[in-house]
Every structure is written in structure tokens, then in C-alpha cells.
Amino acid sequence: MKNLIAMKSFTATQRRQTWLHIVLFIIALFELKAFGFGNPANAKTTFGFTLAKEWVLIHTWIIGSATGSYLFSIIALIAAVVAITLIALKKRAGLATAVTGLALMMGFLCWAAAGKFIPLTGMLQGSLLLAVPLVFGSMSGLLSERSGVINIAIEGQLLAGAFASGVVASLTHKSALGLLVAPLAGALISLLLATFAIKFSVDQVILGFVLNVLVIGLTDFLYKKLLIPYQTTWNSGPSFSRIEIPLIGKLPIIGPIFFNQTLIVYLMYLIVVIITYSLFKTKWGLRTRAVGEHPTAADSVGIDVNKLRFRNVLIAGLVSGLGGAYFTIGSTGSFSKEMTSGAGFIALAALIFGKWTPMGAVSAALLFGFADNLQGTLSIIGVSIPSEFMLMVPYIATIIAVSGLVGRVRAPKADGIHYSRGGSH
């Protein structure tokens, strides 16, 4: 405790984390006062837990709105104190932080939805769906950036994938073919990225930006020229239907959220697992990380830096192109103008927020998906917070993250720097 008061002896990270939790503590206090005591006494909040035909533990949970806010705020207060103590003792406080955040959120929901119904399972399922392109995008960014090539063209790759899969599925009436061309379209953009960045050493940020403009321009052009006038042949493709996995698909809450989804979502699980494993457990992963951190050292032990980078950027394009298919054949089947609407940039944000690690990026993508879905749910049940502010959350969170207010965020050391043997860089 003495240590805690004299924060001087803390490391920089400890100090930052302590401050973060003090802020959370104050928010919890505010929530306790404003929501716990400031609620209409008899209003009740109803949480719905069932969605379809899964096995049921509880259908709905009805709690007094004031009681709920009161209860969850107190849990948040306790968890925040626990977290601060753990930090002072130099122990991991991740779980306590998560509990604090979750309790704050539940307390807020109890207040916000007083007298109303919140379909909790449905909300979480929607969050996962909104996170799907973000996860694909951030995995693409991860593959490229861990090997040292900045990928701002995620947006363009997603859009190219969406366009190609939608059009091909519509022309051939086969969604499987659409799924096949989507990664290729993403890889095509990657091919441009890799060629110009690695062969012609063009600045990667500028390049990614220009490629996005190119893809937006091309798809907008073709959309107006072909997809609108010849809609029935060019833009009315089939889409995947949900597949329920036997047994685990019937689990309460978890089942409908994770195991009653389309093929693309299951592919996403697979890709996340493969990338996480390969990056840290295989020779390729070690080389990728080496090239991204210290290309000269990697070169000196015989790794062909630029070849590895080229290959990784191409794989990155395959991944985000596949993610693009989610927008068309993964949902309604048809393509619309600029339908990715910035998902590539939120994916980039998730990658950064997740500190360039697979699990971090996935968590951040899920969090951003949840924030997005929460604002949708709240505006449907008619809560008086402007939805615009809820939509700002991922972006503000990312700025806070890169500013180092929540632990230091550090990119791979050689990210964005062109490598040439004996070169000046």
C-alpha cells in the first residue's frame, strides 16, 4: 500500500496502468451515484438470453434497473481496487481489468435500458458478425506488418474481395466460386503493393493510400457502369446460409453466437488459429518476426528479406480478400458502392490497439464490433445518447492506445522501412 501512494517507485508502465484503473474507479463511482441512485425506483431491465432453438438455461433475466446499476457499479469498484493492488504487487491484472470493464458495461446497460428489453445473445451475435471483416483485415495487416511492410491498403483489399466475389457469384450462380476469387482479388492488390513497395521502394503509406483510391475508383466505376444497369445478371448473387455445428451449436448463449454461423466465419476461426500458431511456433513465423524487427540481422543469417516480405504481403492480400467476401456472399449476396465503408481502417486500428499481436488484434476487433453493435441496439431501444458518439469509440480508443496512455504500443521495428542490402536505411 505504501508503494501505491508513493507511485514514484513505479515503472512507467505501472504508473500508466494505475492511472487507467483510477479513471475506471472514478467512472464506477459516477455510475453508482448517477445510475444506481438516480433511477426510477420501479423500472426493470430485461435481458434476453435465447435466440433460436438452443438448449436453455434461462430465457430472460429481469432485474430492477436501479438494483442492477447499483450491484454492477459496486462490482466494478471492487475489481478496480483489486486491479490496482495487483499492479502494485507487479502481478498480471488483466482479468481484474476485464471484470471492471464488463461490470461497468452491465451497470450502464441496466440504466440505459430501464423498462426495456435487451436481447443480450442477439447483441453478442451481431457484434461477432460486425467484427468478422475487422478480424480478417487485422490478420492481413498483421501478416504484412510483422514482416515489415505497412499495409494501409486493407480497405482496398476488402473492397476488391467483396466486389470480385459478389460479381463472380452472381455471374456463375455459385457462391463457392465467389469464395474462391475473393482471396485472389485481395492478392492482386497485394501484388501491386508488394511490387511497388519492395521492387520500386515506393513509400508504403503513400502507396497503400493510393491503392485504396484506385480500388474505390474502379469498383465505383464498374458498379455504376455494369452492376446497376444489369443488376439481374451482374449483382444478384447467392449467399451462404448459416450452418449449425451439431451439439456445440446447441449450447446456451455460446452456441448461437459462435457455432451457428456461415462458412466464412468458420474459416475466420481457422485462419486466426493458424496464424497465431505459425507466427510463434514455426520457422516461417520466427523468420517473419526477425525480418520485421531487424532485417539486417535476418539477412546476415541467410534469410532473403525481400522475398519473405513479398510472400507475406501476398498472403496478407489473400486473407483480407477472403474477408471481403463476407460483405457480399457472406451476407446478402449483392455488392453496393464502397460497402466496406472504412472497415479496413478500423481493422488497422484493431491491429494497432492489439499491439500487433494476433490475440490482441482479434480482441480489439471483437471490442470494436461490440461498440458498433451496442450503438445500433441502443438507438433501436431509444436511448438518448447520440449514436455518433458511440461510433467514435473505436477511433478514440485507438488514439488513446497509440498515445501510450494504456501501456506502450510499439510497431515492429522495421515496419515501413524499405530494405536493401548495404542500403542507407
Instruction: Catalog residues that contact other proteins under the rule CB under 8 A.
Output: 145, 150, 152, 196, 200-203, 205-207, 209-211, 213-214, 216-218, 220-222, 224-226, 229-230, 342, 345, 348-349, 352, 386, 388-389, 391-392, 395-396, 398-399, 402-405, 410-417
Q: How far is the CB of 33 from other proteins (least distance, A)?
A: 26
**What is the torsional sign of CA 131, 132, 135, 140?**
negative
Strands 117-119 vs 243-244: parallel, antiparallel or unpaired: unpaired
CB of 67 to other proteins, least distance (A): 33
For residue 128, CA distances in Å to 207, 243, 297, 370, 396 come to: 31, 15, 40, 7, 21
Instruction: Spell out where 213-283 has E strands.
Output: 243-244, 260-261
Contact 150, 208 (CB under 8 A): yes
Closest approach of other proteins to the CB of residue 385, in Å = 11
Q: Which is nearer to other proteins, 79 or 134 (CB)?
A: 134
Q: In the complex with other proteins, which residue's Cβ is closer, 204 or 334?
A: 204
What one-character DSSP code corresponds to residue 235?
Answer: S
Cβ-based nearer residue to other proteins, 76 or 153? 153
- Phi, psi of 64, deg, nearest 5: -60, 130
What is the DSSP track for 168-201?
HHHHHS-HHHHHHHHHHHHHHHHHHHHIIIIIS-
Smallest gap from residue 40 Cβ to other proteins (A): 26
Q: CB of 357 within 8 A of CB of 410?
A: no
Smaller CB distance to other proteins: residue 183 or 412? Answer: 412
Given the complex with other proteins, which of 90 and 337 has the nearer CB atom?
337
Helix ranges restricted to H, 355-408: 358-381, 387-402
Q: How far is the CB of 130 from other proteins (least distance, A)?
A: 16
Cell triple for 91:
502481478
Query: CB of 398: closest distance to other proteins in angstroms?
Result: 5
Nearer to other proteins, 230 or 280 (CB): 230
